């Protein structure tokens, strides 16, 4: 057993890439670093990263979900129609939308594993189905999410900001939780005879995380405070972290992605684990749909468009293997931040939409290529 694990090249490549992207846009578009834009960037990051967390759960066992973007539009549209057209209370409408998301994706996961259908094909078909249902639900019209009236709570999803003072208190609690969680994970790995990183490396990681959290509160405090979507992302991220690192289901997902046949032989309930992953994905898709629709201010036919590709790109950039079995919550967060900063910066530079598509596609291809190069020979 070794008490020291040498950092891999990928541990530094992602943060360096993020710094390079942000430095580039800071020079080319000085308003990129303004308090207002950074606050908007945090909202956009929260939406993209939340969906990417669900994508992580699906990719870990070796699957993929190409219907997530259409699902974002559909779930947000369902809640919007319930609130705006039928006068349903916003909390109840959001709860129903969440339940629909979980049920639909659970059923889709069950169909994939029990019929042994490729998730790529099933979710590609679901992409078209959900898109058609979405347009039918909203009647090919715009369903507004207004800041007043019965839909007020819905609109607050992206218009409420936590005061800076409460933000610092929350940041202190998060840092404390990170320290305790890191210590518990280290003890657990040592108890099972696994390699662990050195105390110096662990301290450096925690110190950088604490600095990042403090910087986040400081920057957002310069505008209005911590945006509510960031808090939602924090809850989702924490839940996914606990699930993947501290529960049997998480260990099963990694094992299935590493070798599905070996996992089945060893007694792991492969089908149940994959279905559970898709069920969690459905809930996260619904939450993302609510935030994206609220951020857009209305439910329109373009809500959620291509978001599944941004989620996949965030995962791949963050070190998640498309073959399954490898990936981390922190990596996905960094990958999502790179994608969000890229899109936000290109918007500030007033680039044409076609150039944005080319850049996003190129980043995805380069990320996959780097993933294969860095892990070749493992």
**Domain count along the chain:** 1
Give a yes or no: residue 270 inside a domain: yes
User: 77: domain range?
Assistant: 33-163+225-304
Residue-wise pLDDT for 95-134, tens only, equals 999 999 999 999 999 999 999 999 999 999 999 999 999 9
The residue assigned the tokens 């790995």 is: 189
Residues 6+ apart with CB under 8 A from 201: 5, 7
pLDDT exceeds 60 at position 356: yes
Give a yes or no: residue 314 inside a domain: no
Q: 95, 85, 94: which is closest to 143 by C-alpha?
A: 85
Q: What is the mean pLDDT of residues 360-378?
A: 73
3-state helix/strand/coil string of 23-49: HHHHHHCHHHHCHHHHHHHHHHHHHHH
- Find out whether 342 and 23 touch, Cβ atoms under 8 Å: no
| pLDDT, position 2 | 43
Maximum C-alpha span of the chain: 62
| pLDDT, position 44 | 95
> Which element (helix H / strand E) includes 349?
none
Q: 262, 305, 335: which is closest to 59 by C-alpha?
A: 335
Q: What is the mean pLDDT of residues 1-15?
A: 56
Residue-wise pLDDT for 266-282, tens only, equals 999 999 999 999 999 99
Confidence band of 3 (pLDDT split at 50, 70, 90):
very low
Confidence band of 368 (pLDDT split at 50, 70, 90):
confident
Give a yes or no: residue 346 inside a domain: no
On the CB side of 145, how many CA atoms lie within 13 Å of its CA? 32
- Find out whether 65 and 349 touch, Cβ atoms under 8 Å: no
| pLDDT, position 4 | 47
Give a yes or no: residue 37 inside a domain: yes
Q: How far apart are CA 337 and CA 356, in angstroms?
A: 16
Which is more confidently placed, 160 or 275?
275
Q: What is the mean pLDDT of residues 211-228?
A: 88
Give a yes or no: residue 239 inside a domain: yes
Give a yes or no: residue 367 inside a domain: no
Note the residue count of the chain: 378
2 phi and psi angles, rounded to 5 deg = -110, 140
Give a yes or no: residue 102 inside a domain: yes
Q: What is the mean pLDDT of residues 201-217?
A: 86
Residues 6+ apart with CB under 8 A from 135: 301
| pLDDT, position 10 | 56
161 phi and psi angles, rounded to 5 deg = -130, 130
């Amino acid at each position: 057993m070794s008490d020291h694990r040498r950092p891999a090249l990928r541990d530094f490549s992602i943060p360096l890439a993020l710094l390079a992207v942000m430095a580039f846009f800071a020079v080319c578009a000085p308003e990129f670093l303004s308090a207002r834009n950074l606050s908007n960037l945090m909202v956009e990051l929260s939406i993209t990263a939340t969906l990417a967390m669900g994508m992580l759960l699906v990719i870990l066992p070796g699957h993929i979900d190409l219907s997530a973007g259409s699902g974002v539009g559909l779930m947000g549209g369902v809640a919007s129609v319930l609130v705006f057209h039928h006068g349903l209370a916003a909390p109840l409408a959001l709860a129903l939308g969440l339940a629909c998301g979980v049920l639909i994706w659970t059923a889709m996961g069950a169909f994939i594993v029990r019929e042994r259908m490729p998730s790529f094909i099933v979710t590609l078909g679901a992409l078209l189905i959900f898109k058609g249902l979405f347009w039918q639900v909203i009647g090919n019209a715009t369903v507004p999410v207004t800041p007043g009236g019965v839909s007020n709570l819905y609109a607050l999803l992206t218009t409420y900001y936590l005061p800076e003072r409460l933000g610092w208190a929350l940041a202190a609690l998060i840092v404390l939780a990170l320290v305790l969680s890191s210590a518990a994970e280290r003890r657990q790995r040592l108890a099972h005879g696994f390699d662990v990183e050195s105390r110096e490396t662990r301290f450096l990681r925690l110190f950088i995380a604490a600095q990042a959290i403090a910087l986040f509160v400081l920057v957002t405090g310069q505008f209005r405070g911590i945006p509510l979507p960031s808090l939602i992302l924090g809850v989702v991220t924490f839940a996914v972290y606990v699930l993947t690192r501290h529960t049997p289901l998480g260990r099963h997902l990694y094992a299935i992605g590493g070798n599905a046949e070996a996992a089945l032989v060893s007694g792991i309930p492969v089908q149940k684990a994959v279905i559970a992953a898709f069920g969690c994905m459905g809930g996260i898709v619904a939450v993302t749909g609510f935030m994206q629709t609220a951020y857009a201010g209305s439910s329109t036919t373009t809500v959620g468009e291509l978001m599944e590709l941004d989620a996949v790109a965030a995962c791949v950039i963050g070190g998640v293997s498309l073959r399954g079995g490898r990936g981390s919550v922190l990596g996905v967060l960094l990958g999502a931040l790179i994608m969000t900063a890229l899109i936000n910066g290109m918007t500030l530079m007033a680039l044409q939409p076609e150039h944005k598509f080319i850049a996003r596609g190129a980043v995805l291809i380069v990320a996959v290529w780097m993933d294969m190069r860095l892990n070749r020979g493992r």
